[in-house]
């Protein structure tokens, strides 16, 4: 099959990482794969050996028209069997350009329970007929978009995100060396990962961690991720106001997440909304006990193999973190092993690629 994957960019995010993992494995199975991004090259991107075509879209009508005509030319030239787009902007763009470029099978994947307000929901609804199939990364995402009539019930298929179990595999030697390199000693290290943004609600996490620290001075919090300058300044200001000092570290954008997960003792997610968060799945694959807010598809992912708490409330988040820290090490390790088994049986990328390939073939035929 000839497959085009369309994304806003290849920036370092979970949506982009999942799409690239799928695209790479489809190419490995002998399919002809091309990546098309709406935006110019970002300062930080996931690496790929696949061909990338950038539409260099900017926020003005002339650029939009030029990008649309360029995309139409690309699709007419490549004659893809499948155009698979990811997240709001790419989904709407792919639907519109596909309608005037040979009508390939267009698949739109929705990655979050919240992709914008009512105007975006209306855009999904109005272009629904231009899409061959809409998929969602979790049942929670599918149900919300069906509820708001952004997609039709029979046409929304749930295909969850999945993890490369070879990349995310615990390594005791790496754990020891990583902890030694940062002087972690006997400290209990919590790791959080994801872009510093409203969705991740790190202010909630910092307030919870302040409570944890008051009872457990040996606790440490690492946050792997970056955001806008304004969001990062706001986060550091809150950390200072809460007196977290050196007990909380913002590590910035990191590409060594498996090593950081090895070094950590627990993983914490404080999101206000989610779809099917890769970071939690990666932590579970690394046998880390997880404490997370119960939003989006998180409960579908964790399924009893971790601690779930209400969103936007630091007290239950702190309580769950402290409860996990009080458990004997053997119990924490058992929770982690059960979490990895959950990922092995339900969220293995190799099995998921087979599901996508089957779906592609059914739509093409």
Q: Is residue 167 part of a domain?
A: no
Q: Is residue 193 part of a domain?
A: yes
Average pLDDT in the 259-281 region? 97
Q: How many other CB atoms are there within 10 angstroms of residue 298's CB atom?
A: 25
pLDDT at 154 over 90: no
Q: Which domain holds residue 251?
A: 172-346
Q: Is residue 267 part of a domain?
A: yes
Residues 148 and 200 in one domain: no
Residues 314 and 199 in one domain: yes
- The CATH number of the domain holding residue 260 is 3.40.50.2000
**8 A C-beta contact, residue 309 and residue 291:** yes
25-58 residue pLDDT tens: 999 999 999 999 999 999 899 999 999 999 999 9
Provide the mean pLDDT of the chain. 96
Residues 55 and 136 in one domain: yes
Residues 336 and 253 in one domain: yes
Query: What is the domain count for the chain?
Result: 2
pLDDT at 153 over 90: no
Q: Is residue 116 part of a domain?
A: yes
Average pLDDT in the 143-168 region? 91
Task: Work out the percent of the chain whose per-residue pLDDT is above 70.
Answer: 100
Residues 291 and 330 in one domain: yes
Longest CA–CA separation in the chain, Å: 63
Q: Are strands 82-86 and 105-110 parallel, antiparallel or unpaired?
A: parallel
Q: Is residue 315 part of a domain?
A: yes
Residues 9 and 155 in one domain: yes
Q: Is residue 190 part of a domain?
A: yes
Residues 285 and 335 in one domain: yes
Residues 7 and 63 in one domain: yes
Residues 52 and 105 in one domain: yes
Q: Is residue 241 part of a domain?
A: yes
pLDDT of residue 346: 95
Q: Is the pTM of this model over 0.85?
A: yes
Residues 320 and 212 in one domain: yes
Residues 310 and 354 in one domain: no
Residues 155 and 187 in one domain: no
Q: Is residue 179 part of a domain?
A: yes
């Amino acid at each position: 099959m000839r497959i085009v994957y369309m994304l806003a960019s290849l920036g370092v995010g979970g949506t982009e990482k999942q799409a690239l993992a799928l695209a790479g494995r489809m190419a490995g199975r002998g399919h002809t794969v091309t990546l098309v991004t709406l935006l110019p090259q970002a300062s930080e991107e996931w690496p790929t050996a696949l061909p990338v075509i950038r539409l260099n879209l900017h926020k003005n009508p002339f650029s939009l028209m030029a990008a649309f005509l360029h995309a139409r030319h690309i699709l007419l030239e490549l004659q893809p069997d499948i155009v698979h787009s990811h997240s709001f902007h790419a989904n709407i763009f792919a639907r519109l350009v596909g309608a005037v470029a040979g009508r390939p099978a267009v698949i739109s994947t929705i990655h979050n329970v919240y992709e914008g307000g009512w105007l975006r929901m209306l855009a999904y609804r109005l272009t629904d007929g231009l899409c061959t199939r809409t998929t969602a990364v979790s049942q929670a995402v599918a149900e919300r978009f069906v509820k708001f009539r952004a997609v039709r019930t029979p046409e929304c298929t749930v295909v969850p995100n999945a993890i490369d179990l070879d990349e995310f595999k615990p390594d005791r030697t790496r754990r020891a060396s990583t902890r030694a390199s940062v002087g972690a000693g006997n400290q209990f290290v919590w790791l959080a990962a994801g872009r510093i943004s409203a969705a991740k609600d790190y202010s909630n996490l910092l307030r919870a961690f302040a409570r944890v620290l008051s009872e457990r001075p040996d606790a440490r919090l690492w946050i792997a991720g970056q955001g806008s300058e304004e969001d990062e300044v706001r986060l550091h200001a809150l950390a200072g106001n809460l007196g977290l000092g050196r007990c909380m570290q913002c590590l910035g954008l990191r590409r060594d997440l498996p090593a950081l997960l090895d070094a950590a003792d627990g993983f914490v997610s404080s999101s206000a909304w989610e779809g099917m968060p890769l970071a939690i799945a990666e932590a579970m694959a690394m046998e880390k006990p997880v404490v997370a807010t119960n939003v989006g598809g998180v409960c579908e992912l964790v399924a009893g193999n971790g601690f779930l708490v209400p969103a936007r409330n630091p007290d239950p988040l702190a309580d769950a973190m402290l409860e996990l820290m009080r458990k004997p090490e053997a119990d924490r390790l058992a929770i982690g092993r059960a979490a990895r088994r959950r990922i092995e049986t339900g969220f293995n990328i190799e099995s998921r690629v087979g599901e996508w390939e089957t779906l592609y073939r059914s739509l093409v035929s």
